[in-house]
Amino acid sequence: MSNTETPIELDPSDSTTAPADAGFAGLGLDERLLASLTELGYEEPTPIQRAAIPALLEGRDVLAMAATGTGKTAAFALPLLHRLNTGARAAERVAALVLVPTRELAMQVAEAVHRYGKALDVHALPIYGGAPMEPQLRALKRGVDVVIATPGRALDHLRRNSLSLAHVRTVVLDEADEMLDMGFADDLEAILEQTPSTRQTALFSATLPPRINAIANGHLNDPVRVKIDREVVAAGETARVRQVAYVVTRFHKMAALGRVLDIESPAAAIVFCRTRTEVDELNETLTARGMRAEALHGGLSQDQRDRVMKRFRAKKTDLLIATDVAARGLDVQHVSHVVNFDVPSDAETYVHRIGRTGRAGREGVAITLAEPREHRLLRNIERLTGQPIAVEAVPTVNDLRARRLELTRTTLREAILEAQEQGNTEAGHEVVASLAEEFDIFDIAAAAVRLLDAGRQVADEPEIPAANVRPERPSYGSTSGPGGSRGARSERPSGAAGRVGTRSEGAPAPRRAAKEPRAASGPVVKIFVGGGRKAKIRPGDLVGAIVNETGVPATDIGAIVVSDRHCTVEVPAAKADQIVEALGASHIKGRRVLVRRDRVG
């Protein structure tokens, strides 16, 4: 394949390849496809569709950079169907192959191909792991035109000789960056080697790292390069997705999530977590709180995942608690909120996540719960995306009460309007009239409001303490009060004032730090942390974690001893249990570690 490229850089308002006012009809698509689009309610092509469809209809290879939610499925599916119908189609010959990273995306693309190409009598088949092999084998034997596959299952069929790519005319790599991140690079190479060199290839990716360019150079022939930047919001207009972050300690994060969800009352929300365990714990907690939640992660069987998504799409579930990989490729139009239970480690993941809301012109909300030491990550995301993230205080109990009263007011107002529309305003008048002989009419109405509002109250709702936001970690090696330094940032203490015990490579045992006068009076105990130098844990990490997670001042933290595989920290005895619980539920250097009272000393 040639490694030359024809660059076409587009922004969302550009219309280089097709007249902006010509709609889909101006792109040169088959009339039956246009009729299907009209029936489905499609009016104007998106920027990625306007840029990619003409090039693909001409038979050109395309390398496209476009984020989730920009309409890229139609951008490659429509020209694929158009060219498929105009070429020779033979039974038992796969003419087009679409490779996707997840089973959910395979099903979604297959459904779209079926809807767009219904009038063309095109047969599309999704094949993916976790599903029985026999139905897929039977369908392939009967003959299909388009196969939408995950790389692993495609290779399984190739090895069984149940899938032949010898007659493939078009290959699409959708969300190529995600497939590489999931370790499918070798699988992609093996699959592409079994396709004809004369094929047309389209590669779609949210980002274009060097690995994607390497694939393009090796497998695309003189590609048209299309880049669709994020939508530019005109001056004076607001973005469709409101982005807000709440800074809260790890210990209070679960309560903060419940509070925020109560305030926001989302029509449908996806809550993203990092791990399967976190998904299950959060799902259990939110369900116990009375919310209709479902878990979605890689530990579920395919049947379980299908049932979860069916309920979520049917609006029988309000909250979908999911990991990034499990939620990849999901396209649910009615999602009103996306919640990041943890700050994503990179801006691209953040963009992928919040792209699940604000679809089809609707307004959306993206909420992030950030621990105090993650505040810097929020600023990095802002710089890389060019979009502000408002940092707000966690709603108070009074905020929650006000919100519930507002919901009660809305419920009453809707009931009154409905009664007026139905001409049924006299229902209940008899009860009110009889009570009015004994009580003031406003007292009667207020009592009715209290009764209605009682169902929305939660007894003894606690306040969530404000977190101390530290944009940058303080230098704990500086002098602080009569106790001297609070712990040097490097592992080796500097002079007699060092409070940190360290051990050089090859030293027989950790050295106890020299004891100094404490800034705070009272008894102290030592806590044990199951991670040390080999886990790259430094004294500053421990001090920062204790200060940020518990609010205990750095001046109350005593001697710290760092060994290869564990640490000990002197803390006030009165706050030891609080510190142990908070640190045990948080992450130190990106991982959870065992934290307990030290059994010796």
The string of pLDDT tens digits covering residues 60-85 is 999 998 766 677 889 999 999 998 86
Its pTM stands at 0.49
Classify strands 567-572 and 524-529 as parallel, antiparallel or unpaired. antiparallel
Paired tokens of 286: 């939110």
CA distance 486 to 557: 7
Lowest mean pLDDT segment, chosen from 54-63, 128-137, 314-323, 417-426: 417-426
Quick one: pLDDT at residue 79? 95
In tens, the pLDDT along 157-212 reads 999 999 999 999 999 999 898 888 788 888 999 999 999 999 999 999 888 888 88
pLDDT tier for residue 274 given thresholds of 50, 70 and 90: confident
In this structure, are residues 99 and 134 in contact, taking their beta carbons and an 8 Å threshold?
A: no
Helix 133-142, helix 151-160: angle, nearest 10: 70
Residue range 127-137: mean pLDDT, rounded? 89
Lowest mean pLDDT among 83-87, 259-263, 282-286, 517-521: 517-521
CA separation for the pair 299, 536 (Å, rounded): 30
Q: How confident is the model at residue 129 (pLDDT cuts 50, 70, 90)?
A: confident
User: How large a percentage of the chain has pLDDT more than 90?
Assistant: 23
CA distance linking residue 535 with residue 555, whole number of Å = 25
Q: Rounded distance, CA 84 to CA 113, Å? A: 12
Arithmetic mean of pLDDT over the chain: 77
Q: Are strands 269-273 and 319-323 parallel, antiparallel or unpaired?
A: parallel
- The pair of three-digit structure tokens given for residue 432, joined into one six-digit string: 């009110």
Quote the CA–CA distance of 285 and 264 in Å, as a whole number.
Answer: 18
Greater confidence, 288 or 590?
Answer: 288
Burial 424-459 (b: 16+ CB within 10 A, else e): eeeeeeeeeeeeeeeeeeeebeeebeeeebeeeeee
Sheet with 500-501, strands from edge to edge, namely 500-501, 560-562, 567-572, 524-529, 595-597
CB within 8 Å of 509: residues ≥ 6 apart:
503
**Rg of the chain over all Cα atoms, to the nearest angstrom:** 30
State the pLDDT at residue 362. Answer: 67
The residue with greater pLDDT, 56 or 1, is 56
**Statement: residue 404 has pLDDT above 80:** no
Looking at the predicted structure, is the pLDDT value of residue 10 above 80? no
Phi then psi dihedrals of residue 537, to 5 deg: -85, 130
Please give the average per-residue pLDDT across 420-445, as a whole number.
79
Q: Does residue 401 have a pLDDT over 90? A: no
The token duo for 567 is: 């640490």
User: What letter would DSSP give residue 395?
Assistant: P
Return the higher-pLDDT residue of 553 and 204.
Answer: 204
Task: Measure Cα distances from 250 to 44, 462, 466, 596 in Å.
Answer: 45, 16, 12, 17
Among the residue ranges 103-117, 130-144, 174-188, 473-487, the one predicted with the least confidence is: 473-487
Residue 397: exposed, middle, or buried by beta-carbon count in 10 A (0-12, 13-18, 19+)? middle
For residues 553 and 599, the answer to whether their CB atoms sit within 8 Å is: no
Q: What tokens does 133 get? A: 């092999």
Residues 416 and 422: their CA atoms lie apart, in Å, by 10
**CA atoms within a 13 Å half-sphere pointing along the CA-CB vector of 275:** 7
Place of tokens 């169907």: 81
Predicted confidence at residue 510, as pLDDT, reads 40
| Structure token pair of residue 364 | 């959306």
The region of weakest confidence among 178-182, 209-213, 421-425, 474-478 is 474-478
**What does the alpha-carbon distance between residue 572 and residue 526 come to, in Å, rounded to a whole number?**
9
pLDDT, position 399: 76
* Per-residue pLDDT at 237: 39
Element (H, E) at 526: strand 524-529
The pLDDT of residue 240 is 74
H/E run at residue 447: helix 441-454
**Quick one: how far is CA 109 from the chain centroid?**
20
pLDDT top residue among 97 and 391: 97
Collapsing DSSP to helix, strand or coil, 172 comes out as strand
Spatial CA neighbour of 126 closest among 94, 142, 103: 103
Between CA 334 and CA 330 the distance in angstroms is 12
| Alpha carbon distance 140, 162 (integer Å) | 7
User: What pLDDT is stored for residue 4 in this prediction?
Assistant: 40
Strongest mean pLDDT among 36-40, 75-79, 344-348: 75-79
Range of 345-349, 467-471, 485-489 with top mean pLDDT: 345-349
What lies within 8 Å, CB to CB, of 541 at 6+ separation is 588, 589
The torsion defined by the Cα of 245, 250, 254 and 255, in degrees rounded to 10, comes to: -80
Taking residue 160's Cβ as centre, other Cβ atoms within 10 Å add up to: 11
CA dihedral angle for residue 201, residue 203, residue 204, residue 205, rounded to 10 degrees: 170
Residues 167 and 93 sit within 8 Å (Cβ to Cβ): yes
Of the given ranges (119-123, 198-202, 455-459), which has the lowest mean pLDDT?
A: 455-459
Residues 6+ apart with CB under 8 A from 298: 276, 323, 325, 326
Residue 150 has pLDDT above 50, yes or no: yes
Of the listed ranges 64-78, 113-127, 480-494, 535-549, the one predicted with least confidence: 480-494
563 Cβ contact list (under 8 Å, min separation 6)? 503, 510, 532, 533
Please report how many Cα atoms fall inside a 13 Å half-sphere around the Cα of residue 118, on the Cβ side.
10
Q: How far apart are CA 304 and CA 299, in angstroms?
A: 10
Domains and their CATH numbers in the chain: 6-228 (3.40.50.300), 241-395 (3.40.50.300), 398-454 (no CATH), 481-597 (3.30.70.330)
Expressed in angstroms, the distance from the first to the final Cα of the chain is: 69
| Res. 299: pLDDT tops 60 | yes
